[in-house]
Amino acid sequence: MLSISIVIYSLDSLVLTKTIESIVKSAKKIPSHLGISRLYVIDNGDNDKELLNVIAQFSDSSLKIQIYSTDKNLGYGQAHNIAIADTTDKYHLILNPDVVISPSSLIVGLNYLEKKDEVVAVCPSARDGEGNVQYLAKSYPSLLVFLVRAINLKYLKNLFSHKLGSYELREMVHNKEFAEVEIISGCFMLCKTKALKLVGGFDQRYFLYFEDFSLSIELNKIGKIMYLPEMKIVHYGGNSSRKGFNHIRMFLSSMIKFFSRYGWKIC
């Protein structure tokens, strides 16, 4: 069976509705022995009334939704850990509330995990809301890559295009290759629950940003993470470089924690 967790904060009810609708459609393609047992919705903000209104729309569906409201904003990883600790299902999907899953994606990923004992997690191909390719699977990052992405000048991006392409595994994505990868995005991580519990879920020292990088590396210590291009999602999420100072501050704080633990890479 499969459980799913979504963490919400400053809820956009329309986007969340699309996300849950896509889960319901995907569930119809999953055989009963792999079916979705429940959807955990962890409310990290003050969204109770609006949240209940969204979930009420799905009262006639077969999807069981369990709501947790936290006393404060726990951060992305710690909130997901509530579901990871509670679930007893064989598989668990860590999902953003701004992701729409294609109808066949979950069954593709679950079938792959069923067949591959050595694989502990899988990552989908993705596009944003405008149809542009997103690179969810990545190689180990460097300070140079983050600096070029943050400055966001066309000249610098062209100058260091090879570095950026290598970090974002662009050739692999554009060639639609099945491949083992090092790091995957926390917006969609379909994992074997046993592996998640073995590594202790997300490292709670990261409030926001890099918690998925850290989890990926820890999962890679006990098994393989695979990029599956046949799994497809639309991810409406933004980029940290476009957000305000508080987000930039959190990004830098998490980046220092990450490199201090796993090793600094300059370029």
Q: Which residue has the tokens 């998640």?
A: 196
Distance CA 27, CA 58 (A): 13
pLDDT of residue 48: 67
Enumerate the β-bridge partners of residue 180.
226
DSSP letters for 45-77: SS-HHHHHHHHHTTTTSS--EEEEE-SS---HH
Structure tokens at 85: 């600790």
Residue 138 corresponds to which tokens in the numbers above? 């990545």
What CATH number corresponds to the domain at position 104? Answer: 3.90.550.10
C-alpha dihedral (139, 145, 150, 155), degrees to nearest 10 = -130
Residue 267 in 3-state DSSP?
coil
Q: How far apart are CA 101 and CA 118, in angstroms?
A: 25
Average pLDDT score, the chain:
92
Q: What's the pLDDT score for residue 21?
A: 95
Q: Is residue 235 part of a domain?
A: yes
> For 163-199, how does the pLDDT look when each residue is reduced to its tens digit (9 = 90+)?
999 999 999 999 999 999 999 999 999 999 999 999 9
- Give the whole-number percent of the chain exceeding pLDDT 90: 75
pLDDT for the residue numbered 17: 93
Question: Which H, E and C letters describe 70-95, residue by residue?
Answer: CCCCCCHHHHHHHHHHHCCCCEEEEE
pLDDT reading at 240 higher than 50: no
3-state secondary structure of 116: coil
In terms of residue numbers, what domain contains 90? 2-262
Structural domain includes residue 62: yes
Q: Tell how strand 188-192 and strand 91-95 pair up.
A: antiparallel
Predicted local distance difference test score (pLDDT) of residue 52: 79
Is there a domain that residue 194 lies in?
Answer: yes
Q: Is the pLDDT of residue 241 over 70?
A: no
Give residue 61's pLDDT. Answer: 78
- What is the tally of structural domains in the chain? 1
pLDDT digits (tens, 9 = 90+) for 21-36: 999 999 888 988 888 9
Provide the pLDDT for residue 214: 98
Q: What is the pLDDT of residues 89-132, one digit of tens each?
A: 999 999 999 999 999 999 999 999 999 999 999 999 999 999 99
- Between 46 and 7, the more confident residue is 7
Residue 267: inside a domain, yes or no?
A: no
CA distance 63 to 56: 11
